[in-house]
C-alpha cells in the first residue's frame, strides 16, 4: 500500500471519519456536471466560521490529502489545542473538484497501482519530480540564452550588421518555448501511454467527456491526464471567473477562440489553454461563459456565511510551491468596495498569513530559513481568478501552496520523510497557530491600519503597499517571537505591550531609549 489515494479511496477515508462520529457530514454543496457530489463536513459549533478547501485543481491531490489529515487531527479534540471548538465552526471541503481528482488519480493508478509498496511508489514519484525539475531546467536555460541573444542583437543592430542580425534572430527563435504538442515534456513522457480508458467505466459521463475533449482538440499533447486541474468539462475552476483576462478578451471579440493561448511557464508550454483541456482554460468558447458547479459551490458557502456575519476566514489549499499568495489590491469597480474596506482586508490577510507562515517549514532541520514566503507580487494586482474575487469580497482568504517539492500530482510524494512529513506536520501546526492567534493577528492589522490611515490615498500605490507590508511583517515577527518567548500564559499582556509598541511613533521610541 502506498500513500496515493485514488478517488474511491478518498471517499472511503471520508466515510470512515464520519462513521467514527468524529466529524459531521453536511448536505453536499453541489453535484458536479457529471454527477459527483461535492462533500461538505464540519466540526465545532462556535460562531466564528472557517472554511477550508482542497483540490480546487483536481490534480493537486496533496491538498486533499492535507485537508483530510487536518480533519482527522482537529477532530481528535485533545489535538485541537489552540483552537477552541466552541468558539469556531470549521467547514471542510476536502475535494472541491472531484471530477478532476477522479481523472488525475485514475491516470496515476495506471503507473502506481493500489498495491504497489510504499518505497516503490515513492521512487516513481521521485522520478516524476526529477522530470519536472529537468523540464524547468530546460526552460531556465532557454530563457537565459534568449536574454543573452537579445543583448547581442541590440549590439548588432547598433553596428548595423545585417548578416549578424539575421543570424541572431534565427537563434532567438530556437530559444522560444517549444509549443509543439508532439514534443512531449519529460513529465509527459512518463504518462504518455495513459489514455481516457484509465477512467473506470462506472464514471461513464466523465470518461466520455474526456474522450470527446481529447478527440476534438488533437493539439492536446499525450501524457497529461495526471495533471488534469480542470473538471471533466475541461474547465479550470480557478480560471473560471468573469474577470479572467482571456475570457473577457474572447467575449469582447478582441481574441479569436481559434487563436492559441499558452502558459508562460515553459513546463506547460505545449498545452494550448484557450479551449477545454487539462489546465488553465476558464470557459468553453463553444458553450459560452457560465460559472461551473465547483465554483458556485464554494461561492455559495462563502456568501451564505458572509451574509450571516459569521465568516471568519477561508483557507484555500493548493498543491505545490511552498508559498502563500497575498490578495490582490485592485477590486473591480462594480463591487464598490471602498478603500477602507480594501485596506482592512488586505492588512487582515497579510497579518494572518504572517502568523501562518511562521510555523511552516520545508526542512525540519532548518525551519527558519525554509519558511514559506508570502508572495506579495505587485501590490495593486488585479482580480483575475475566481479566488481573487473571493479574496476581495471576504475577509482573511489565505491561499497556501503546500509542497516544497513540485510536480503535481505525485511529485510531493517523492520524498516521504523529507517533504511529505514536513509539509503535513508544519501546515497542521501553522493552521492551529494562525487560527489560535487570529485575535492577536487582528489587533496587529488594526494597529497597522491606524498607522497608515493618513497615507491612504484614492489611488493604491505599489510603493505604499510594499512599505506597509514591510511594517506589518516586522510587527508580526516581533509579536510572534515574543509570544514564543513568553509562552501562552502571558500572551495577552505580551500582545497589549506589542500593540502599544507598534502604535508608538518615532519620537516616543527615541525618548524611551534615552
Ligand atoms: Zn492550484
Angle between helices 162-175 and 118-159 (to 10 degrees): 160
Q: What is the pLDDT along the chain (514 residues), one digit of tens a residue?
A: 899 999 999 999 999 999 998 899 999 999 999 999 999 999 999 999 999 999 999 999 999 999 999 999 998 866 566 688 889 999 999 999 999 999 999 999 999 999 999 999 999 999 999 999 999 888 888 889 999 999 999 999 999 888 999 999 999 988 888 888 989 999 999 999 999 999 999 999 999 999 999 999 999 999 999 999 999 999 999 999 989 989 999 998 999 888 888 876 678 889 999 999 999 999 999 999 999 999 999 999 999 999 999 999 999 999 999 999 887 777 788 888 888 888 888 889 989 999 999 999 999 999 989 999 988 765 456 788 899 899 888 989 999 999 999 999 999 999 999 999 999 999 999 999 999 889 888 888 888 788 777 776 666 666 777 777 777 777 777 777 766 666 554 555 555 666 566 555 433 333 333 2
Which range marks the domain in which residue 208 is found? Answer: 1-436
Alpha-carbon distance values, 52 to 86, 95, 302, 437 (Å)? 18, 10, 11, 17
Report the run of H or E that residue 320 belongs to, with start and end. strand 311-320
Instruction: Identify the sign of the CA torsion 295, 298, 304, 306.
Output: negative
Same domain, 446 and 462: yes
How remote is the CA of residue 171 from the centroid of ligand 1, in Å? 34
Name the grid cell of 344.
482592512
Q: Which residues contact 189 (CB under 8 A, 6 or more apart)?
A: 131, 223
Question: What are the angstrom distances between the C-alpha of 292 and each of 175, 382, 439?
Answer: 37, 22, 35
**CA 64 to centroid of ligand 1, rounded, Å:** 11
Cα of 29 to ligand 1 centre, how many Å?
20
Which residues make Cβ contacts (< 8 Å) with residue 111, sequence separation at least 6? 124, 190, 191, 194
Same domain, 397 and 497: no
Q: Residues for the chain: how many in total?
A: 514
CA of 409 to the centre of ligand 1 (A): 11
Residue 399 alpha carbon to ligand 1 centre in Å: 9
Residue 403 CA, ligand 1 centroid: distance in Å:
11
For the chain, report the end-to-end CA distance as a whole number of angstroms. 66
Q: How many domains does the chain have?
A: 2
- Find the angle CA(63)-CA(68)-CA(71) to the nearest 5 degrees: 130
What is the SS3 assignment for 506?
A: helix
| One domain, residues 466 and 477 | yes
CA 455 / ligand 1 centre spacing (Å): 35
Per DSSP, helices labelled H in 339-420 are 339-358, 386-393
CB 432 within 8 A of CB 338: no
Is the CB of residue 96 less than 8 Å from the CB of residue 38? Answer: yes
Do 216 and 301 fall within a single domain? Answer: yes
What is the Å distance from ligand 1's center to 222 Cα? 21
Domain identity same for 413 and 468: no
Q: What is the pLDDT of residue 378?
A: 54
How many angstroms separate the alpha carbon of residue 500 from the centre of ligand 1?
39
* H-run or E-run covering 24: strand 24-25
H or E segment and range at residue 451: helix 438-452
Asked whether residue 412 falls in the same domain as residue 317, the answer is yes
Q: Domain end: 436, 469, 488, which one? A: 436
User: Is the separation of the CB atoms in 213 and 184 below 8 Å?
Assistant: no
Q: Does one domain contain both 373 and 446?
A: no
Q: Are residues 412 and 466 in the same domain?
A: no
How far apart CA 260 and CA 258 sit, in angstroms, is 6
Instruction: Tell me, in angstroms, the distance from the centre of ligand 1 to residue 57's CA.
Output: 5
Let me know whether 427 and 448 are in one domain: no
**Given 393, 409, 436, which residue is the final one in a domain?**
436
pLDDT for residue 335? 83
DSSP string, 140-159: HHHHHHHHHHHHHHHHHHHH
The verdict on 204 and 329 lying in the same domain is: yes
Q: Quick one: which H or E segment has residue 168?
A: helix 162-175
What are the b/e assignments for 167-198, b being 16+ CB within 10 Å? ebeeebeebebbeebeebbbbbebbeebbbeb
Helix (H, G, I), strand (E, B) or coil at 363: coil
Cell of 198: 484509465
Q: 3-class DSSP state for residue 418?
A: helix
> Looking at residue 72, what is its pLDDT?
93
**Boundary-marking domain end, from 436, 465, 500:** 436
463 shares a domain with 362 = no
What is the C-alpha to C-alpha distance for residues 185 and 208, in angstroms, rounded to an integer?
A: 26
CA 503 – CA 267 distance, rounded (Å)? 46
Which residues are registered as beta bridge partners of 401?
Answer: 318, 323
Q: What is the dihedral of CA 344, 345, 351, 356, to 10 degrees?
A: 160
The reply to whether 368 and 447 lie within a common domain is no
Ligand 1 centre to CA of 506 (Å) is 42
Strand 311-320 versus strand 397-403 pairing type: parallel
Q: What is the CATH number of the domain that holds 331?
A: 3.40.630.10
Strand, coil or helix: what is 318? strand
Amino acid at each position: 500500500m502506498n500513500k496515493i489515494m485514488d478517488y474511491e479511496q478518498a471517499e472511503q477515508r471520508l466515510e470512515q471519519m464520519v462513521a467514527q462520529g468524529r466529524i459531521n457530514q453536511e448536505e453536499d454543496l453541489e453535484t458536479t456536471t457529471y454527477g459527483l457530489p461535492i462533500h461538505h463536513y464540519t466540526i465545532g459549533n462556535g460562531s466564528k466560521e472557517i472554511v477550508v478547501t482542497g483540490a480546487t485543481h483536481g490534480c493537486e491531490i496533496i491538498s486533499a490529502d492535507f485537508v483530510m489529515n487536518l480533519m482527522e487531527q482537529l477532530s481528535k479534540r485533545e489535538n485541537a489545542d489552540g483552537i477552541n471548538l466552541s468558539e469556531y465552526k470549521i467547514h471542510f471541503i476536502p475535494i472541491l473538484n472531484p471530477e478532476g481528482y477522479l481523472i488525475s488519480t485514475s491516470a496515476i493508478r495506471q503507473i502506481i497501482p493500489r498495491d504497489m509498496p510504499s518505497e516503490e511508489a515513492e521512487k516513481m514519484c521521485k522520478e516524476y519530480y526529477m522530470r519536472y525539475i529537468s523540464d524547468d531546467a530546460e526552460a531556465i536555460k532557454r530563457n537565459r540564452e534568449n536574454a543573452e541573444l537579445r543583448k547581442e542583437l541590440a549590439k548588432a543592430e547598433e553596428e548595423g550588421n545585417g548578416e549578424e542580425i539575421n543570424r541572431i534572430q534565427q537563434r532567438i527563435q530556437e530559444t522560444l518555448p517549444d509549443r509543439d504538442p508532439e514534443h512531449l515534456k519529460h513529465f509527459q513522457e512518463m504518462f504518455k501511454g495513459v489514455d481516457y480508458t484509465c477512467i473506470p467505466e462506472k464514471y461513464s459521463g466523465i470518461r466520455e467527456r474526456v474522450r470527446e475533449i481529447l478527440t476534438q482538440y488533437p493539439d492536446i499533447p499525450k501524457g497529461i491526464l495526471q495533471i488534469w486541474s480542470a473538471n471533466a468539462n475541461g474547465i479550470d475552476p480557478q480560471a473560471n471567473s468573469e474577470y479572467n483576462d482571456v475570457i473577457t478578451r474572447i467575449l469582447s471579440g478582441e481574441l479569436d477562440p481559434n487563436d492559441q493561448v499558452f502558459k508562460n511557464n515553459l513546463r506547460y508550454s505545449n498545452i494550448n489553454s484557450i479551449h477545454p483541456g487539462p489546465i488553465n482554460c476558464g470557459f468553453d468558447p463553444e458553450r459560452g461563459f457560465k460559472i461551473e458547479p465547483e465554483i458556485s459551490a464554494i461561492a455559495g458557502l462563502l456568501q451564505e456565511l458572509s451574509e450571516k456575519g459569521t465568516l471568519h476566514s477561508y483557507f484555500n489549499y493548493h498543491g505545490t510551491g511552498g508559498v502563500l499568495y497575498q490578495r490582490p489590491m485592485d477590486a473591480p469597480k462594480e463591487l464598490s468596495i471602498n478603500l477602507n474596506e480594501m485596506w482592512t482586508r488586505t492588512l487582515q490577510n497579510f497579518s494572518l498569513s504572517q502568523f501562518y507562515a511562521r510555523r511552516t517549514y520545508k526542512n525540519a532541520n532548518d525551519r527558519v530559513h525554509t519558511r514559506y514566503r508570502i508572495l506579495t507580487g505587485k501590490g495593486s494586482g488585479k482580480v483575475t481568478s475566481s479566488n481573487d474575487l473571493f479574496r476581495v469580497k471576504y475577509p482573511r482568504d489565505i491561499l497556501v501552496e503546500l509542497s516544497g517539492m513540485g510536480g503535481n500530482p505525485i511529485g510531493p510524494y517523492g520524498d516521504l520523510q523529507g517533504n511529505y512529513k514536513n509539509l503535513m506536520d508544519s501546515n497542521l501546526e501553522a493552521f492551529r497557530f494562525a487560527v489560535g492567534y487570529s485575535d492577536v493577528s487582528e489587533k496587529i492589522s488594526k494597529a497597522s491600519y491606524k498607522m497608515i490611515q493618513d497615507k491612504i490615498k484614492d489611488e493604491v500605490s505599489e510603493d505604499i503597499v510594499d512599505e506597509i507590508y514591510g511594517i506589518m511583517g516586522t510587527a508580526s515577527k516581533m509579536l510572534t517571537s515574543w509570544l514564543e518567548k513568553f509562552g501562552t500564559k502571558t500572551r495577552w499582556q505580551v500582545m497589549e505591550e506589542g500593540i502599544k509598541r507598534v502604535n508608538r511613533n518615532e519620537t516616543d521610541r527615541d525618548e524611551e531609549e534615552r
